[in-house]
Amino acid sequence: MPAAALNHRPEIKRALDEMLLGSREMSAGRAFGYPCYKVFGKVFVFVGGSGLGVKLPPARVQELIESDDRCQPFEPKEGLVWKNWVSIRPLTPLECVGLAPLLDESAEYVVEKELSG
Q: Over the stretch 48-93, which tens digit does the pLDDT of each residue have?
A: 877 899 999 999 999 999 999 999 999 888 899 999 999 998 778 8
Q: What is the pLDDT of residue 71?
A: 96
Q: What is the pLDDT of residue 117?
A: 64
Mean pLDDT, residues 40-55 taken together: 91
**Cα angle 98, 72, 93; round to 5:** 30
CATH architecture of 10-116: Alpha-Beta Complex (3.90)
**Domain boundaries in the chain?**
10-116
Q: How many H-runs (helices) and E-runs (strands) does the chain carry?
A: 4, 6
> Of 1-5, 35-39, 89-93, 105-109, which gets the smallest average pLDDT?
1-5
Q: What is the pLDDT of residue 46?
A: 92
Q: How far is CA 79 from CA 8, 44, 73, 82, in A?
A: 21, 21, 11, 10
Q: What is the pLDDT of residue 3?
A: 42
**For residue 5, pLDDT beyond 80:** no
- What pTM does this model have? 0.89
Q: What is the pLDDT of residue 6?
A: 62
pLDDT tens digit string along 7-22? 888 899 999 999 999 8
Cβ proximity of 30 and 36 under 8 Å: yes
Q: Identity (one letter) of the amino acid at 78? A: E
